[in-house]
Chains A and B, each alone.
Chain A
């Protein structure tokens, strides 16, 4: 039965040793161990959290980049379209201007030609008249060189007059 009856000495020592062990271990072992374990846990947790945050930041950065790229592309397209339009406009303008100029030149040329023509016509008319007068003078000079011819002519005039 000695096996089942707790001995007073062992009870006493066990209580003292265990309580002392508890106090010593709590102060010198469990506190530093548990606090470092906790510290490590939190550091791992924060590392994981920051990694997650970095990932999110990267994703947002990437989407930002994409947005910027898209914007840049749009801008480029816009600029190109504008440039093309401007070029077209300039081209058209130049064409119409050229046409207008050409028209004006043609008009001017026509006017000049007309004036020249008129002047030429006037000259021609004057010359024709001159020539006619000279011809007439020559003719008259030739025909009226003798009296007979003059008489004949006067008679023909009178005849005509009689007819009237």
Chain B
């Protein structure tokens, strides 16, 4: 560590520390509330039930139809369902709960975050604004707010040095443009720059917002990463030039019998790319959340203050690592997308 830190550095350091302290204390509080909720009925029942760690953790990393902030503070979210039998229905998720007990509503049944028709147990098309969808809206709003104000700053601040939020965002935009997109996509990079910038900042902001206490695990959800990877996949497919496809279907420069073997490998390669993108981001973010939650849960497993203090200290550092991972995963996803697009549009003069 720096022995004589300059003042701005100290300020940043202390700000980060305060933010992390809030993060970890609130996550402890939520976990504690969770633990209490789990434990209380057992005491009342008179027999000792094991604190179910995996259930607690999974509930935190997975999507839900209501936003469980802390014990007693639950935000009901709108349910939007469609089924051939009953048509489109919109109602609050609070209808599924009466005095904290799950109930059926209007012929729908909510079970393990899936909505069924109560009588036939048939799954319905669930387009509800779930916790992650709301998080998605929040993420999009934050992105819009930040970047529209930055864009406005470029207009009002025209021809001058950037300041405020603009000077925080600008180096990141320039970094994405010059260090990720330009070298990987190649000379025609400007066409893909808006998509890649949106991708980078969507993932980055999603990752960082997901670290906030009580926030939903948006970028650690496989549906989210799958959609992003599929968009990359389709962009790659549709921008692929003749060279790209000829390299896949009839690889030049190798013996004919070998081309037959290469063909399936290359074809699988086309699909493994989006698959790896999907899984990488999902796993990196979800695993980070699981590690933090598991460390916090240690406190409730051992029911000890000392373990609590110890795990809190470790959680601070894991949170720091998570901040790093938030940036790295956004970088990696954007970098690989740029690379795939670059491979698809590359011109081969030497063949």
Contacts and interface: CB of A to CB of B under 8 A. Distances in A.
B154 A25 contact: no
Point out which of B150, B194, B195 has the most chain A C-beta atoms below 10 A from its C-beta.
B194
Interface stretch (B11-19, B224-232, B262-270, B331-339): B224-232
A2 interface: yes
A30 B194 contact: yes
A13 B126 contact: no
A22 interface: yes
A37 interface: yes
B152 to A, nearest CB: 8
Interface of B: 58, 61-63, 80, 112-113, 125-130, 132-133, 136-137, 140, 143-144, 147-148, 150-151, 154-155, 158-159, 170, 173-174, 177, 190, 193-195, 197-198, 202, 221-224, 226-228, 231, 286
A58 to B, nearest CB: 26
A25 B194 contact: yes
3 nearest CB pairs, A to B:
A6-B223, A29-B147, A10-B223
Contacts of A25: 143-144, 147, 194, 197-198
A127 B9 CA distance: 139
A33 B151 contact: yes
Contact of B197 (A4, A19, A30): A30
A3 B112 CA distance: 12
B198 A37 contact: no
Interface of A: 2-15, 17-22, 24-26, 28-34, 36-37, 40, 43
B171 to A, nearest CB: 11
Nearest to B81: A9
A26 B196 CA distance: 11
B227 A15 contact: yes
A68 to B, nearest CB: 40
A33 B147 contact: yes
Contacts of B150: 29, 33
A161 B182 CA distance: 159
8 contacts: A2-B62, A3-B222, A8-B125, A17-B137, A28-B147, A30-B198, A32-B154, A33-B154
Nearest to A36: B154
Point out which of A10, A18, A26, A37 has the most chain B C-beta atoms below 10 A from its C-beta.
A10
A25 B231 CA distance: 16
Given A2-B112, A19-B231, A30-B198, 18 more contacts: A2-B58, A3-B222, A7-B130, A7-B223, A8-B126, A9-B125, A10-B130, A13-B133, A14-B223, A14-B227, A18-B198, A25-B194, A26-B194, A28-B147, A30-B147, A37-B173, A37-B174, A37-B177
